[in-house]
Amino acid sequence: MIASSRDPNREALAVAIALLASLAIGSALMLVAGKAPGHVWWLMVQRTLFTDAYSLGQVFYKATALVLTGLSVSIALDAGLFNIGGEGMVIAGVVACAVTGAALPQGTPSIIAIPLCIVVSAVAGAAIGALIGVMRVWRGAHEVITSIMLNAIVAGVALWIGNELLFQNGTTTGPPIAPGAELPQLGFGGSSANLSVVLALAAVVALWWLRSRTTWGQALLAVGRDPAAARATGISVGRVQIYAMIAAGALAGLAATNFVMGHKHAFEEGLGRGVGFLGISAALLGRMNPFGIVAASLLLGFLSSGGLAVAQEVPKELTEMLQGVVVLAVASAGPIARRYGKASS
Amino acid sequence: MIAALFTTAFLAQIVRIAVPYVFAALGGSLTERSGVIDLALEAKLLFGAFAAAAFSHASGSAAVGLIGGMAAGALTAAAQLGCALWLEADQVIVGVALNLLALGGTRFLLQVIYHEGANSPPAPAFGDAIASNPLVLGAVVAAILVPLAVKHTRWGLRLRAAGDRPDALVAVGVSPRRTRMYAALVGGALAGAGGAQLSLAVGGFSADMSSGRGYIALAMIILSGWRPAIAALACVGVAIAEALNILIQITHATIAGHRIPSELAPLLPYALTIIVLAIYNGRSRQPPASLGKL
């Protein structure tokens, strides 16, 4: 689906074109808001990266979830499937993680509580992914429709579970998880950054290894490149696609650890919303490369956190909008870079 | 509660809810049949809703607002096709990006123009009565004209050829790219009209007021096998389920003494869609042969 060239120079050129275009559009928007772009950009960089530890911590907090949902999109796309179901997978993980954490006895030791909650988050997401994959492979149902429907269904069911079972006396917050299931904070001026960043990085390395060093990874990429050719070499295309969707679901489900175990320590209405869709941006911006996705997530996290850091200068909606601009620019710059590459070689 | 089903108020409710869906599904059908994946429907609804409220507020006329909303939908389509056809960007990604852009962009415009975070100032509206709302009549007319135009006019024939056999179109000297542009501009204007209904029915814009309707409309298009009339009917089905849920909540209806959960009732059409997909093999209805290809 994504004609991603494997030539690193061209990839770099595409990203450079896209970032320059985004910088230009962002500057134009700042002019619209009546501010000098240079000043606002500098303030954003200065506060987020140098002077305000909290803002830097928030970059890591936001990037942690984006890395996981970004990897989720990329592994599905490796198998030729467009995973737009990240929203539902994350929410399923959040509900499962929070319910399990709250059901544990108060004194449960971390050595049991933390792995259990991590596994439950991944399994809940994987279940959604499996359903999308099975519907696609066995019933020929387009994964985009199934995903859209499941996103709506999971959001509704999560709200229902919250209202019926979890929310305490008129709030939209559920009971707290057992203290043993909480992940330690990383500090950074009291920011939400937490140890689940390790989990995200482990997933990055695992996916890199899987894609580049294993036969399974080669089969995955072969299915994405040309299903018919993959089938001819004896690869079971359907099975690979279902496994890829299960893995995609598990990765997105893991983002729940960042929200529930690392930050809120309870189920909250709306927790984790939006990060599934933004993961698509992270995957595309990172050119489907696990390490590229880390860089892209940090950039998107920077825009989001930096936007808040300069909120008294320009409306924070500006950087929200810019996230869309970046994706549009990356998608358009790829083909431009390819054409330029053809012309020069 | 049963008696309440046969009141005009309930029917009016269904119509009010159905109009944005129907416009989006018809507009999206045109774009998709011409061979362009239309995930940007959500963006067209949202920009359409914002522009309709803004133009209505500025001019004092809901009709001007409607024109503004349709123009915003068409403009979004132009941006979409500019990236997808001229810059050859991936069509799915362009759609997702435009949706993100619309979500942030409308909120940014709210801030810059009105210094408000979530709501636009009140704008003249078409009002609650169905008869006085030209968008209702417009939706009905569009639901009849769009399928006829696709099937029986030269424009529709070219549009379908652009989606199925662009090479055949080239052979007779017609540009598929231009054909797609015309289809998507009309489709975008229709979706923009759907967005206008969202804000002009209540007399103002609020952030994220499309709340996923564009995605649902796209799902109904695919489910209908890319047939606009059936997609529009499916959208009415979604509207009936939503109206029914509102009625259940108002009348506190129960089934065998149990409260019917307000969170789950509106999910019925979505669950039904999945069940239908699981029963009927989705491969039996093929998308336009060149959908998403250049």
3-class SS of residue B276: helix
Domains of chain A: 3-344 (1.10.3470)
pLDDT band at B249 (very low <50, low <70, confident <90, very high): confident
Write out chain B residues lying below 8 Å of A324, CB-based.
97-105
Report in angstroms the alpha-carbon separations of A115 from A81, A122, A161.
30, 11, 24
Across B137-147, average pLDDT? 95
In angstroms, the Cα distances linking B200 to B56, B110, B115, B186, B195 are 8, 16, 20, 20, 9
Reported in sequence order, the residue ranges of chain A that DSSP labels E, i.e. its strands, are: none
Whether B282 contacts chain A with CB within 8 A: yes
How far the first Cα of chain A sits from its last, in Å, is 25
In terms of pTM, does the model score above 0.95? Answer: no
Give the contacts of A46 (CB within 8 A, at least 6 positions apart): none
Residue B91's pLDDT band, with cuts at 50, 70 and 90, is: confident
Q: What is the pLDDT of residue A255?
A: 97
Whole-angstrom distance, CA of residue A150 vs CA of residue A154: 6
Around Cβ A115, how many Cβ atoms within 10 Å? 11
Beta-strand (E) ranges in A64-209? none
The neighbour count for residue B24, using CB atoms within 10 Å, is 37
The residue extents of the domains of chain B are: 2-279
Residues 6+ apart with CB under 8 A from B30: B146, B150, B159, B183, B184, B186, B187, B190, B228
The verdict on A304 touching B (C-beta cutoff 8 Å) is: no
Phi, psi of B22 (to 5 degrees): -65, -45
Cross-chain CB nearest to B93 (options A144, A284, A317): A284
Across the interface, which of A29, A32, A317 has its CB nearest the CB of B107?
A317
pLDDT (mean) for B71-95: 92
| Residues in A 67-86 with any Cβ partner in B closer than 8 A | 82, 84
Contact B94, A334 (CB under 8 A): no
Enclosing H/E stretch for A174: none
Chain A contacts in chain B segment 253-272 (CB below 8 A): 261, 263-264, 266-267, 270-271
Mean of all residue pLDDT scores within chain B: 89
pLDDT at B116: 86
ipTM, 2 decimals? Answer: 0.83
Residue B182: both structure tokens together: 């015309």
**Looking at beta carbons, which residues of chain A come within 8 Å of B113?**
none
Cα B64–B70–B73 angle (5° rounding)? 145
Q: How confident is the model at residue B253 (pLDDT cuts 50, 70, 90)?
A: confident
Q: Report, as ranges of residue numbers, the positions in chain A whose pLDDT lies below 70.
A: 1-6, 340-345
Q: A287 vs B17, which has greater pLDDT? A: B17
Q: A115 to chain B, minimum CA–CA distance in Å?
A: 31
Spatial separation of the C-alpha atoms in residues A25 and A322, rounded to whole Å: 8
B88 touches chain A (CB under 8 A): yes
How far apart, in whole angstroms, are the C-alpha atoms of residue A151 and residue A154? Answer: 5
Q: Given pLDDT bands bounded at 50, 70 and 90, which one contains residue B68?
A: very high
Please tell me the CATH code under which domain B2-279 is placed. Answer: 1.10.3470
